[in-house]
């Protein structure tokens, strides 16, 4: 096998005169063991190498040398950022907006000719509005910044710096509920407490009683107003009363809130818990989202909306009918999702590509202009480093991230996943401090949520990983770079090549405008042979395809002998026209 340090561009993948068709994957080389963690690094020089009489020579070329092709649209690579645990600029142990600004070059330095940044071009800021909790999903003021994080001036400075770097910023908007300390709720409950026995509330006297769902019945999902026999809907926690989004006055409030942030330059919103707007009613929830999408897009069509609807795929697909841009693609996420099941060997590699193709029709029937929102983990899920155990766990952690980042649509990466951070169980553990250093007292390190448990990280901190070409960090950075070099990855239509896929490897094409890419992946711990015979990709014969990207998790690199491509364990190739 060729060493991973030799960056290759296959000038000709197949011998001239070959016939077409990729035989089903699955033949393995039993001599090849599981790969250790690793990836490519450095700039290769032009050279020819032979791996034996039956293997044709390859031409080396660093894929990093290929220019990025960044398109200014809503197909991006977003970074989900929890400010509280990211970077502390003032020494109080809590992350803040100034800290995000100071570490912005880590995410994107604004210079496409460098490769020292992660390469993201979108940031989803988890809630930054005033709140009583560390997670800040209980909003007390929708038009301000939580003092723990800074000021509106700090936010404006961060937003301007992001835009200078080509980074779009969306805010987490908890519209399903407010804080129980929000003035709306406080005025409503004070009014209810003042009512004489047996008298019904009058919205003309206190309009805020219609901002929430109050009842004299102790229903499921309701909490009691202290000192009264009134109850209010609070599906998540009694500190987060559910808002009545079917009330026109509430809608006017949120239109004003949207104006406040969009007029400051915010690029859109992540909408929290949309299936609970009216619990149990998809139809009502779609209507509510239609109102908000119409309003936000009416201000500017490029304003972006992505929604959390944590339920089955067939149900959240229906929410696209509302006209929102994206729904988070939960089917592929979490420890029991498609990606983790494939990497763990619980599902075939083919199922990854098959589901990518199938969901396109499912979503497009409700909104032909939908933009998928793939993600692998988020703040409510255990981190992916905990999904895998044993000698291949580092390679599997890398592979899982690649399968997410190579999906089409607007992809999301949770902070610290690029380091293989650990965290599971209680929510606080999933929102641990960004692992800049193993020294918890190092500059900028956060203390994390107060009730977070003590646990050791599985992989090194950024300080070590930046220096290690085989680290998870350098691997994820390389995947993002390949994504940024090839616009078809995010924007293209997927076609599953069933006859070329199997238990251990997948084959698919991704077509966008005049570009069609071929993606080949081995999701197993064994070497896999793929016979590329008679294959045409787009209008290009396979023998004219070149290697546009290669992702390895160990020391071995892909080879070809005649029409047979040999994929090392946990590896992916991206091929296309010159």
**Residues known to be catalytic:** 272, 308
From first CA to last CA, the distance across the chain in angstroms is 25
Beta bridge partners of 567: 528
Longest dimension (CA), the chain: 95
Instruction: Give the angle 495-499-502 at the CA atoms, nearest 5°.
Output: 95
Q: How far apart (Å, rounded) are the C-alpha atoms in residues 285 and 316?
A: 11
Phi-psi region of 267 (alpha: psi -120 to 50; beta: other; left: phi over 0): alpha
**Structure tokens, 375:** 């993600």
Determine the distance from the C-alpha atom of residue 179 to the mean position of all C-alpha atoms in its chain, rounded to a whole number: 27
DSSP string of 304-364, one letter each residue: EEEE---S-HHHHHHGGGG--SEEB-GGG-STTSHHHHHHTTSS-HHHHHHHHHHHHHHHH
Q: Are 532 and 366 in contact (CB under 8 A)?
A: no
Q: Are 526 and 28 in contact (CB under 8 A)?
A: yes
Phi, psi of 131 (to 5 degrees): -160, 165
Q: Enumerate residues 6+ apart whose C-beta is below 8 A from 356.
A: 407, 408, 494, 496, 508
Helices (H) and strands (E) in the chain, counts: 13, 25
E strands in 61-165: 77-81, 122-125
Picking from 267, 71, 75, the residue whose alpha carbon sits closest to that of residue 168 is 267
Coil vs helix vs strand at 277: coil
Question: What sign does the CA torsion over 15, 531, 575, 468 have?
Answer: negative
Q: Enumerate residues 6+ apart whose C-beta is below 8 A from 250.
A: 210, 211, 243, 244
Q: Are 565 and 50 in contact (CB under 8 A)?
A: no
Q: Are 240 and 135 in contact (CB under 8 A)?
A: no
């Amino acid at each position: 096998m060729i060493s991973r340090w030799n960056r290759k561009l296959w000038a000709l993948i197949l011998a001239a005169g070959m016939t077409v068709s990729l035989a089903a994957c699955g033949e393995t080389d039993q001599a090849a063991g599981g790969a250790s963690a690793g990836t490519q690094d450095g700039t290769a020089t032009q050279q020819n190498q032979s791996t034996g009489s039956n293997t044709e020579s390859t031409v080396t070329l660093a894929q990093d040398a290929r220019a990025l092709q960044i398109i200014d649209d809503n197909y991006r690579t977003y970074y989900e950022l929890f400010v509280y645990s990211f970077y502390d600029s003032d020494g109080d142990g809590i992350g803040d907006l100034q800290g995000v600004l100071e570490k912005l070059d880590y995410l994107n330095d604004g210079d496409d000719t460098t490769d020292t940044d992660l390469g993201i071009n979108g940031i989803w800021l988890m809630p930054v509005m005033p709140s009583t909790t560390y997670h800040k999903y209980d909003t007390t003021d929708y038009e301000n910044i939580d003092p723990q994080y800074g000021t509106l001036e700090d936010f404006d400075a961060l937003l301007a710096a992001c835009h200078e770097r080509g980074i779009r910023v969306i805010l987490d908007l908890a519209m399903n509920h407010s804080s129980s300390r929000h003035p709306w709720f406080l005025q409503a409950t004070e009014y209810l407490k003042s009512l004489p026995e047996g008298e019904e509330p009058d919205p003309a006297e206190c309009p805020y009683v219609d901002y929430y769902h109050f009842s004299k019945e102790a229903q499921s999902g309701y909490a009691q107003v202290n000192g009264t026999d009134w109850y209010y809907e609070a599906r998540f926690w009694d500190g987060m009363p559910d808002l009545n989004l079917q009330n026109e006055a509430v809608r006017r409030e949120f239109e004003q809130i949207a104006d406040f942030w969009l007029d400051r330059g915010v690029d859109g919103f992540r909408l929290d818990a949309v299936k609970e707007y009216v619990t149990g009613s998809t139809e009502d929830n779609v209507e509510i989202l239609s109102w908000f999408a119409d309003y936000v897009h009416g201000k500017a069509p490029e304003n972006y909306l992505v929604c959390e609807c944590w339920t089955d795929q067939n149900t959240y697909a229906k929410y696209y009918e509302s006209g929102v841009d994206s729904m988070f693609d939960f089917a592929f996420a979490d420890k029991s999702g498609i990606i983790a099941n494939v990497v763990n060997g619980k599902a075939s590699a083919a199922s990854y590509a098959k589901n990518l193709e199938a969901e396109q029709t499912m979503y497009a029937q409700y909104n032909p202009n939908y933009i998928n929102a793939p993600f692998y983990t988020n703040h409510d899920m255990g981190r992916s480093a905990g999904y895998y155990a044993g000698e291949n766990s580092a390679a599997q952690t890398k592979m899982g991230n690649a399968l997410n980042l190579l999906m089409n649509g607007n992809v999301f990466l949770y902070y610290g996943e690029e380091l293989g951070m650990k965290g599971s169980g209680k929510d606080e553990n999933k929102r641990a401090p960004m692992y800049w250093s193993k020294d918890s007292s190092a500059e900028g390190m956060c203390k994390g949520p107060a009730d977070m448990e003590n646990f050791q990280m599985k992989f090194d901190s950024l300080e070590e990983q930046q220096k290690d070409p085989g680290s998870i960090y350098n691997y994820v950075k390389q995947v993002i770079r390949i994504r940024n070099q090839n616009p078809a990855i995010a924007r293209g239509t997927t076609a599953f090549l069933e006859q070329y896929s199997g238990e251990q490897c997948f084959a698919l094409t991704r077509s966008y405008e005049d570009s069609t890419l071929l993606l080949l992946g081995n999701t197993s711990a064994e070497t896999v042979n793929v016979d590329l015979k008679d294959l045409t990709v787009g209008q290009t014969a396979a023998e004219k395809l070149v290697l546009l990207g290669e992702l390895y998790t160990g020391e071995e690199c892909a080879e070809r002998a005649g029409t047979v491509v040999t994929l090392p364990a946990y590896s992916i190739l991206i091929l296309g026209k010159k």
